[in-house]
Structure 1
């Protein structure tokens, strides 16, 4: 009888733990937000249980513009953390402009690859803007504050959100679809960069506060820059050097000898830093420049200098 009672108690405890975990998981609703080039684009809206008007974090997955999915389990901790903190999360599809390269015998030249990449980044930005419009159209119904929309992305998604913020600051043609005067409240980039075909990125207006995560041994997205005649990627370290001169608020979290793992690991290991960024920089308007340099003894010394061909090879093969 004692055995049965102990078994009953154990079952009850497990049930309570399970129910508690299930209750903490955010509720998700899926919407079709656009259809482009014959492709249906969906977004998942994760609802925070916090009452009243809330901020929203729009997330773009990684995958080198050839793959990836909006509901990858690797992002669950991040989404659940944000909803617990009182933020809604919208994780979106976007067109994968380089996917055709993996579905054919295409062997583009370096020049052709640059053109394909430029188009891939631009159409991803277009899709982010379309998703933003969808959120704005539903802001009242979803209780989202239009002035507290933060964009966040991993790898290719991080490139897209940085590119979108740069396009918006420069009043670029792609950004004209957004309401006049609209600005994002912040940007969180997990191993991102800006792609330019006309030299270093320009900033007609100062960007929103940006949080960068990057390792200086990242061989897939440049930590500094990778360019040929001004065409290429300008990474987190390069952008921070620009922001120092422009007096732009940022938080740069860099890991010495860190690899492209920084595209994902901060979404599990650096939630406290992200909380502080959202609280201090986005909500409280802190205007400061922080750099957190981490030297992880678990990381061996690795190369930290790569050229354009190295990055192309690391992402798409020889």
Structure 2
């Protein structure tokens, strides 16, 4: 008689090595100035959009989770080379991720018109989605697991990342002229490639409308200063353009069964300085624990395999 014995394999390499949990790589290598897309800026001129990519050095893994980060600057200034973004990219590359700090189109056509800020958000979201498509289309080249792409950012970059993850075309407010701006997912190349992400890192960001968060959406981790007066922790209204901060984002996520982690710093304003070591380390730890759990869940799903083989007892 032949019996089928079934074994469930759940052991993962990261459990043995602390990969993705701790900074286990001492060195990081980089690719600077990689063009991931071209899109027209507010002057109607094509602009090269570039990324700086960070990898763990001397790493044999070929399918690694990726974290794409977007800098802040009110959609008017800032750079992918801003110190805090670079530092986060390097620290998480040392944990085994592939990370990228991306440029996106900047500029607000009319500083006195809140709708112009909405258009700036829209353009940044188009660029964020283009970056996701680019890296997914080139996953083998960069040693990325195409199923494990996370997007995040700080301030304006977080606003863009949040909307890139959760905004659907039919949710775009009527005050935004999409005939002028184009669709959310058709700017920047790699048409037909998915721009879906696995999770979101929101550092002092906000959303135009938290009802964009619905059941089944991807998990999110949020970091915010309780006294933030730039991108408020709760809410600010600017005519038609409203911003709901991490307080309401977390509340809406919980209401809809979306995994959400919120870290609030009391008596703290907008952003964080690396000189504030305690808060910086707490931020990195909160994000790191969130990402580790996220990729662990994904890896466990991928490594659970049933292996059947015949065993003759007689």
| TM value normalised by structure 2 | 0.72
- 2:271 is paired with a residue whose SS is helix
Give unpaired runs (5+ residues) of structure 1: 1-21, 102-106, 287-318
Alignment of 1:1-318 (within 5 A): 24-37=27-40, 38=45, 39-49=47-57, 50-52=59-61, 53-98=63-108, 108=112, 112=113, 114-168=114-168, 173-175=183-185, 179=192, 183-196=196-209, 200-227=210-237, 231-262=241-272, 268-284=281-297
- Indicate conservation of the 8 Å contact 2:130/2:185, yes or no: no
Cα deviation for residue 74 of structure 1 reads 2.7
Alpha-carbon distance change, 271 to 211 in structure 1, aligned in 2, over 3 angstroms: same
- 1:260 is paired with a residue whose SS is coil
- Indicate conservation of the 8 Å contact 1:58/1:152, yes or no: yes
Cα distance per residue 1:225-245 (max 9 Å; x no partner)? 113677400110011111121
Alpha-carbon distance change, 26 to 204 in structure 1, aligned in 2, over 3 angstroms: same
**2:312 maps to what in 1?**
none
- Indicate conservation of the 8 Å contact 2:203/2:224, yes or no: yes
- Indicate conservation of the 8 Å contact 1:77/1:267, yes or no: no
**Number of aligned residue pairs:** 252
- Which 4+ runs in 1 deviate beyond 6 A? 169-172
Matches of 2:170 and 2:91 in 1, distance apart?
Answer: 33
Cα deviation for residue 144 of structure 1 reads 0.5
Give unpaired runs (5+ residues) of structure 2: 1-24, 173-182, 300-314
Cα deviation for residue 75 of structure 1 reads 2.6
Matches of 1:239 and 1:263 in 2, distance apart?
Answer: 24
- 1:174 is paired with a residue whose SS is coil
Matches of 2:84 and 2:213 in 1, distance apart?
Answer: 33
Matches of 2:280 and 2:78 in 1, distance apart?
Answer: 16
Say what the alpha-carbon RMSD is for the aligned residues.
2.8
Structure with greater helix share of residues: 1
Cα distance per residue 1:242-270 (max 9 Å; x no partner)? 11211110110001121103487665553
